[in-house]
A and B are shown apart, each in its own frame.
Chain A
Amino acid sequence: QKEVEQNSGPLSVPEGAIASLNCTYSDRGSQSFFWYRQYSGKSPELIMSIYSNGDKEDGRFTAQLNKASQYVSLLIRDSQPSDSATYLCAVTPTTAGNMLTFGGGTRLMVKP
């Protein structure tokens, strides 16, 4: 079982719709959770961080964390074609010090 799991996609949504990206993790002691966006041929860009249960909103992005279910999600409202990218979920594992454990990423396609 992978430590951080994401559906590889592609997830296809029409422009203006809500895109929902999901991530599960295996380390129950994880404390910090991040979402990165990576465009093709580019490096990852940090878009959201969340540390406690519940929702955190930043513009069109909402991160949701449920530690009991070991589940973190990212909602993108009013999806735009420019949101088309691979979204990486990252988690700080309990025993790995400074490192982040990344999921394999979900490819999102927003169709005009």
Chain B
Amino acid sequence: GAVVSQHPSRVICKSGTSVKIECRSLDFQATTMFWYRQFPKQSLMLMATSNEGSKATYEQGVEKDKFLINHASLTLSTLTVTSAHPEDSSFYICSARGQNYEQYFGPGTRLTVT
């Protein structure tokens, strides 16, 4: 199957700093990638849809100025959490869309803001 990587897998940062998470499709080109957030024992929550070469589409309630998404190439999308606060601590997961609308997920990034 298709492989999606994420980096870093785990990050701890101080409140007020920014954190960048990278998502790469390793063996296929992904015109569309997605960013999710998942809190413990809760369902996946879609944050935004990232299309190569265009602006991301954010879900209702997700602040686009706080969660900056850049999809600069067919294999790379980045999510930057700006001015992170403890309530942003979560498991962030990206996915890349395949040819039949299936999504291949990266391994996730666990963010802890202290």
Contacts and interface: CB of A to CB of B under 8 A. Distances in A.
A88 B32 CA distance: 21
Interface secondary structure of A, over-half rule: loop
A95 interface: no
Nearest to B59: A99
A98 B100 contact: no
- Chain A interface residue bracket vs B: 20 to 34
Given A98-B49, A99-B49, A46 B104 contact: yes
B103 A100 contact: yes
B46 interface: yes
Given A43-B105, A46-B1, A99-B49, A51 B43 contact: no
A98 B44 CA distance: 16
Contacts of A88: 44
Given A43-B105, A49-B102, 5 more contacts: A43-B93, A46-B102, A88-B44, A98-B101, A105-B43
11 contacts: A32-B101, A32-B102, A34-B103, A36-B105, A43-B107, A43-B108, A44-B93, A46-B1, A46-B105, A98-B49, A102-B43
Interface of A: 32, 34, 36, 41-46, 49, 51, 88, 90, 92, 97-100, 102, 104-105
Q: Which 8 A-B pairs have the closest CB atoms?
A: A43-B108, A43-B105, A98-B32, A92-B101, A43-B93, A32-B101, A104-B43, A44-B105
